[in-house]
Copies of this chain bind each other. A is one copy, B any other.
Amino acid sequence: MSEYIEHDRSGNSVGIVEKKSHTFAAAPDELILDSGARLGPITLAYETMGTLNADKSNVILVTHALSGDSHVAGYYSKDDPKPGWWDIMVGPGKGIDTDKYFVICSNVLGGCMGTTGPATINPATGRPYGLDFPVITIGDMVKAQKALIDHLGVTRLLAVIGGSIGGMQVVEWAISYPKMVASAIMLASTIRHSALAIAFNEIGRQAIMSDPNFNKGDYYNGPKPDLGLALARMVGHVTYLSDDAMRSKFGRRLQDRDSLSFDFDANFQVESYLRYQGSKFVQRFDANTFLYITKAADYFDVRQQHGHDSEVKAFAGVQAKFLVISFTSDWLYPTYQSRDMVKAMKKNALDVSFCEIESKCGHDAFLLPNERQSTLINRFLKRIYEEENDAL
């Protein structure tokens, strides 16, 4: 039996999200994946915020990136130290205004935050899948989300929105389910994972798979490949920042000392920051999920998967109105990649707005408070909502 685990927002003013868990017979019992493999039953963890209106025309699907989850915004309780991962954007009166819109965010397929992934028990063996979990694609993640949206009785999404790997899901939605997507907002992302981006992911995967605790992915009953996963996270963190951001955030400042220590301890703040980020990440994330999600990102290429080697062809059937946002200092998915996509869309006469936001924060910029980003998204959604309702 498959299930959806739902966490929905209780609606109180401090933005506290109440955890709930439901089991639905409508959840996909089996998905046929892009690889041809079959996977099932599938559990999807998701959270909602805001109120679904009567005609279900105010639904926004938020898609998360590598380390995100379904907990997009708000707090679970007053003791909760941190809100959801995109609290700067999602909430009452924010860029994605939950007083107006009904927001859904689900943990991706292959994830480790409630949705079926490599740590899930494989019904065929009674043990966690580990590397028996099939390699999935961005398309497979979207197929699972589609089942959730169907299950909720929603036939059209006002918007699908996400950054980074979440942005890839946005594009996949617009291409795969053109009639269901009124608009698509893609931030700091790409439609074709570059050699540079693949290289960093591969280094992260090699770090995990080289860890002696990795044990071919079968580590759930023993010590975990924490050192490898921490290294992978450290590499990731550097790619999320920019030279500029690191200069202003750390520079050459020393950690808790006045002079160089002449040893291999963390002398510089940037060293201790990375070590801290690495060690914190392993407490909440599954190394196998890191492997599967990065592989899905590396495989992502709309030309190859949807366009017979042409991105123009890939967007041929798309109907969604697009807002594409890139950031000047993002060197993981640089602006030229967004521009290439926008060009391909324009050749299909799509309604696309593009904005490169000046930022020193690198790839991570979409996760950080930015008035311009919030305003752009807020206005775009308002316009789409009006156009959708005018059209009725």
**Taking beta carbons and an 8 Å cutoff, which residues of A are in contact with B?**
35, 37, 131, 134-135, 192-196, 198-200, 202-203, 205-207, 209-212, 227-228, 230-231, 234-235, 238, 241, 243, 246-247, 249-252, 260, 262-264, 266-268, 270-271, 274-275, 278, 291, 295, 298-299, 301, 304, 331, 334
Contact = CB atoms under 8 A, between A and B. Distances in A.
B264 A205 contact: yes
B209 A247 contact: no
B198 A268 contact: yes
Contacts of A205: 264
Counting from the closest, the 8 A-B pairs by CB-CB distance are A195-B246, A35-B262, A210-B227, A135-B262, A195-B250, A195-B270, A202-B271, A196-B243
A207 B238 CA distance: 15
A274 B202 contact: yes
Given A195-B250, A195-B268, A202-B266, 7 more contacts: A196-B238, A196-B246, A203-B235, A203-B238, A206-B234, A210-B211, A252-B304
What is the count of identical protomers in the complex? 2
A367 B308 CA distance: 38
B209 A264 contact: yes
Q: Which of A206, A234, A267, A275 has the most CB of B within 10 A?
A: A206
B198 A271 contact: yes
B231 A263 contact: no
A270 B198 contact: yes
Given A193-B252, A194-B246, A195-B250, A260 B291 contact: no
Contacts of A134: 262
B298 A264 contact: no
A267 B252 CA distance: 38
A202 B235 CA distance: 10
B206 A252 contact: no
Contact of A203 (B202, B231, B266): B231
Contacts of A246: 194-196, 199
A355 to B, nearest CB: 21
Contact of A200 (B37, B195, B238, B268): B238
Contact of A207 (B231, B267, B268): B231
A208 to B, nearest CB: 10
Contacts of A252: 192-195, 198, 301, 304
A317 B134 CA distance: 64
A115 to B, nearest CB: 20
Contacts of A263: 135
Contacts of A210: 211, 227-228, 230-231
B331 A243 contact: yes
B131 A264 contact: yes
Q: Which of A199, A227, A246 has the most CB of B within 10 A?
A: A199
A251 B207 contact: no
A192 B230 CA distance: 27
A47 B195 CA distance: 38
Contacts of A227: 210
B212 A212 contact: yes
Nearest to A210: B227
Contacts of A295: 264
A194 B234 CA distance: 17
16 contacts: A131-B264, A134-B262, A194-B243, A194-B246, A195-B251, A195-B268, A198-B270, A202-B268, A202-B271, A203-B234, A206-B231, A206-B234, A206-B278, A210-B211, A210-B230, A252-B304
Contacts of A209: 264
A231 B268 CA distance: 22
Q: Which of A230, A263, A301 has the most CB of B within 10 A?
A: A263
